[in-house]
Amino acid sequence: MKKDLILFNGNIYTMNFLKPKVEALLIRKEKIIAIGNNAEIKSKANSKYESIDLNGKV
């Protein structure tokens, strides 16, 4: 079973010129479905997502 994840509190470089750097990702079924700041991403997730604090890492 694939885990759905929230990766938050990071320095994530996206290669997307509209949002070149974000704090958080939402991953569902091994695909990134949302990028943004911590609050945006946490508001889109439910309790089934595993949260991983990146502690400011890249």
For the chain, give every domain's residue range.
5-53
Mean pLDDT, rounded, for 28-36: 95
Q: What's the distance, CA 22 to chain centroid?
A: 8
What is the fold, at CATH topology level, of the domain defined by 5-53?
A: Urease, subunit C; domain 1 (2.30.40)
pLDDT at 58: 76
Distance from C-alpha of 43 to C-alpha of 51, rounded to nearest angstrom: 12
Distance from C-alpha of 29 to C-alpha of 37, rounded to nearest angstrom: 21
| Bridging pattern class, strands 31-36 and 24-28 | antiparallel
Going by pLDDT thresholds of 50, 70 and 90, the confidence category of residue 1 is low
Provide the residue type at 27 as one letter: I
More confident position, 30 or 2: 30
Provide the residue type at 1 as one letter: M
Percent of the chain at pLDDT > 70 equals 98
